[in-house]
Amino acid sequence: MKIVCIGGGHGLAQMLLALKPLNAHITAIVATTDNGGSTGEIRKNNNVIALGDIRRCILALAEDNDLLAVMAKQRFEHCGQLSGHSLGNLMLLALTQISSSPTDAITWLCHLLGVEQTILPMSDTPVDLVATLANGKRVLGECSIDALKTVPETVALSDIVFAPLQATSAILNADYVFIGPGSVLTSVLPPLLVPNIQQALQKTLACRVFVENVAKEQSVADLQPLSTQEWLSQLLGFQFNDITITTDAISLIDQREHTEQHNLKNEQLHDLSTLNHVLSQFLKPNYINSHDLSNQTLH
């Protein structure tokens, strides 16, 4: 089974962890517009794509007891200019400088960590997210967009960029394309704004599945009146999915007895145990015929 996952942030990493036990062939296409934290500092000083979410996705698929993976997760403390930086981010930066290609750098780090699945950036070219408000004001960068108090009229990329050929090829040849979960504007949306990713999503015969968060997002995205799927389609100008697994559907599919810790999922946008169970049920043979779809919503 060939599965493509599109998104960013913690949501995509959780999705990969949830799919990991299912032994599918996975390709992850990762948002690269983050401009905060260690990633933001590296971007500002080196003119590279955002590396943090890529590192997070690679480590999600690496073996937990791998010493190099443990080191790559390490974040420096009380180390002068290194303070706050993740070693994994710096490894990706070094490999990018050696290869002059983020895609190649990611492939090399995956090889070093024994990750056999495919991790790809939404683009090898640095780009930012831009929101335009109703009064015409333009807001540049994910951090500023995350802080908005009013819903933007449009959201776009600051320049035209293209995804690696492997990314569009994976979408066109996939059985399933999972989009989300995660922060709508800053994790889910950026890869969907890349022109050749849009074209591949509209041409593919794969079942395109939008996975909502298990809890409401505490951001400007929660202020708009439409469903998340409708709002994203409106921003994009095309229908990007065939099926939506809503928050209610996630609760309905996951009927296991919840432990006290599992019940805390409602405080989070995504929960690993729930995602794993829901995806296992969803991907069962004959659960759904992906060729007989008319934008269904599971709720």
- Which distant-in-sequence residues (6+ apart) come within 8 Å of 75 by Cβ? 38, 84, 85, 86, 87
> Is pLDDT at 279 greater than 60 in this prediction?
yes
Q: Determine the Cα–Cα distance for residues 297 and 83; give it in Å rounded to an integer.
A: 45
Percent of the chain whose pLDDT exceeds 90? 64
Torsion of CA 72, 114, 103, 197, to 10 degrees: -110
Q: What is the pLDDT of residues 145-170, one digit of tens each?
A: 989 999 999 999 999 999 999 999 99
Q: How confident is the model at residue 269 (pLDDT cuts 50, 70, 90)?
A: low
Q: How confident is the model at residue 254 (pLDDT cuts 50, 70, 90)?
A: low
- Are the CB atoms for 93 and 42 separated by under 8 Å? yes
- Are the CB atoms for 28 and 5 separated by under 8 Å? yes
Q: What is the pLDDT of residues 168-208, one digit of tens each?
A: 999 999 999 999 999 999 999 999 999 999 999 999 999 99
The token pair at 167 is 């990314």
> Is pLDDT at 111 greater than 60 in this prediction?
yes
- Structural domains of the chain ordered from first start: 2-33+121-298 (3.40.50.10680)
Q: At what angle do helices 87-99 and 52-61 cross, to 10 degrees?
A: 110
In this structure, which long-range contacts are made by residues 138-144, counting pairs with CB atoms below 8 Å and at least 24 apart in sequence?
141/35, 142/33, 142/34, 142/35, 142/36, 142/186, 143/35, 143/36, 143/40
The token pair at 50 is 């955002």
Other Cβ atoms within 10 Å of 238 Cβ, number: 11
> Is pLDDT at 95 greater than 90 in this prediction?
yes
> Structure pTM?
0.89
- Are the CB atoms for 35 and 128 separated by under 8 Å? yes
Q: Determine the Cα–Cα distance for residues 77 and 171; give it in Å rounded to an integer.
A: 40
The token pair at 113 is 């960590």
Q: Determine the Cα–Cα distance for residues 272 and 25; give it in Å rounded to an integer.
A: 19
Residue-level length of the chain: 299
Q: What is the pLDDT of residues 221-245, one digit of tens each?
A: 888 888 899 999 999 999 999 999 9
- Closest C-alpha among 141, 150, 207, 201 to residue 171: 201
Q: Determine the Cα–Cα distance for residues 100 and 105; give it in Å rounded to an integer.
A: 8
State whether residue 45 is helix, strand or coil. Answer: helix
Q: Determine the Cα–Cα distance for residues 35 and 205; give it in Å rounded to an integer.
A: 34
> Is pLDDT at 136 greater than 50 in this prediction?
yes
- Closest C-alpha among 213, 211, 212, 208 to residue 241: 208
> Is pLDDT at 288 greater than 50 in this prediction?
no
